[in-house]
Amino acid sequence: MRSRRSCLAVPGSNPRFLEKAQGLPADEVFLDLEDSVAAGAKEQARKNVVAALRDGDWTGRTRVVRVNDLSTAWTYRDVIEVVEGAGDRLDCLMLPKVEDARQVSWLDTLLTQIERANGLPVGRIGVEAQIESARGLVEVDAIAAASPRLETLVFGPADFMASINMKTLVVGRQPPGYTEGDAYHYVLMRILMAARAYGLQAIDGPYLQIRDLDGFAEVARRSAALGYDGKWVLHPSQIDAANEVYSPGQDDYDHAERILEAYERATTVDGRGAVMLGDEMIDEASRKMALVVAAKGRAAGMRRTPPS
């Protein structure tokens, strides 16, 4: 499992930002060819992204390129030029505004053709699908099942809010007048259920008020509590908060590892299906819950606290 606690957006049209991103502690960096790049800069942005992937040092980070959506004239050239130019340095392509499983299948087929033509391992490059509209949400189960390359479903809140005519211009905050519950809860849970049903990660979208770190952390805690794996970050100042919110607490991580260790001994050495760990009875269900926490902690590079 790739760690995606913080997914940093970097405009492909800005070489200075592409260089700076290489030294930032984000788990994932996605080099953007879509919304952050003006129409007249698209072709140069492709070249910038290929050069950054080939010449840059992205050690320890998941390397992603977001191509343009399939309603545009740019998508196929984005995929071809990026993968032919730097496919061996690329982990995933992100496809925005996905509304139909056939769009993911199209990308899978094109990737396979390019990989075969260029001697790249077929199927190694993954896909991230952005859910950004009412139709995309309605079709999310089929989208999640569309390709074995799919690794992640990503919530795109701004376009989604526009697609349902939500009465607000502030992305991430509750709309004015909505005083009962969370206006985004259904959307987040719907995406999460589809992701988990097909073994995918789920990533929350961006919080646009980049100077409001308290607001960012509050919104991040909302999706982290549901089980999301990470969140987009639009500014370096948001990275540390995302990494903290989407990581297990050290005590929880230590406890999860102890549960796994005790259950392994109980089942393989002692021949029991349940065992006491202190005052807590643990069994197979405990193991499954502990495995989730431990896997996230390991992916984030956490280490157990040494016994005192």
DSSP assignment of 154-178, as one string?
A: EE-HHHHHHHTT-S-SSTTSPPTT-
Phi, psi of 231 (to 5 degrees): -150, 150
- Residue 272: count of CB within 10 angstroms of its CB: 12
- Cα–Cα distance measured from residue 166 to residue 156, given in angstroms and rounded to the nearest whole number: 14
Query: Using 50, 70 and 90 to split pLDDT, how confident is the model at 273?
Result: low
- Cα–Cα distance measured from residue 241 to residue 71, given in angstroms and rounded to the nearest whole number: 34
- Cα–Cα distance measured from residue 283 to residue 66, given in angstroms and rounded to the nearest whole number: 42
- Cα–Cα distance measured from residue 159 to residue 4, given in angstroms and rounded to the nearest whole number: 22
Strongest mean pLDDT among 31-45, 238-252, 261-275: 31-45
State the average pLDDT over residues 88-113. 98
- On whether the CB atoms of residues 241 and 216 are closer than 8 A, the answer is yes
State the average pLDDT over residues 20-27. 97
State the average pLDDT over residues 260-264. 83
Strongest mean pLDDT among 66-70, 157-161, 249-253: 66-70
Whole-number pLDDT of residue 190: 98
Alpha-carbon separation of residue 52 from 38, 41, 181, 239, 264 (angstroms):
19, 16, 43, 21, 45
- On whether the CB atoms of residues 206 and 239 are closer than 8 A, the answer is no
- Residue 147: count of CB within 10 angstroms of its CB: 20
Nearest to 49 by CA among 27, 5, 4, 80: 80
The residue to which tokens 């940093």 are assigned: 8
Q: Determine which of 13-17, 102-106, 241-245, 254-258 has the lowest per-residue pLDDT on average.
A: 254-258
- Cα–Cα distance measured from residue 225 to residue 38, given in angstroms and rounded to the nearest whole number: 36
Name the maximum alpha-carbon separation found in the chain. 68
179: DSSP letter: -
- On whether the CB atoms of residues 63 and 21 are closer than 8 A, the answer is no
Containing H/E element for 256? helix 250-268
Query: Using 50, 70 and 90 to split pLDDT, how confident is the model at 308?
Result: low
- On whether the CB atoms of residues 242 and 17 are closer than 8 A, the answer is no
188 three-state secondary structure: helix
Q: Which is higher by pLDDT, 252 or 69? A: 69
Whether the per-residue pLDDT at 30 is higher than 80: the answer is yes
Whether the per-residue pLDDT at 248 is higher than 80: the answer is yes
Query: Using 50, 70 and 90 to split pLDDT, how confident is the model at 162?
Result: very high
Whether the per-residue pLDDT at 223 is higher than 80: the answer is yes
- Residue 159: count of CB within 10 angstroms of its CB: 18
State the average pLDDT over residues 155-164. 94
What residues does 127 pair with on adjacent strands?
A: 93, 150
- On whether the CB atoms of residues 229 and 236 are closer than 8 A, the answer is no
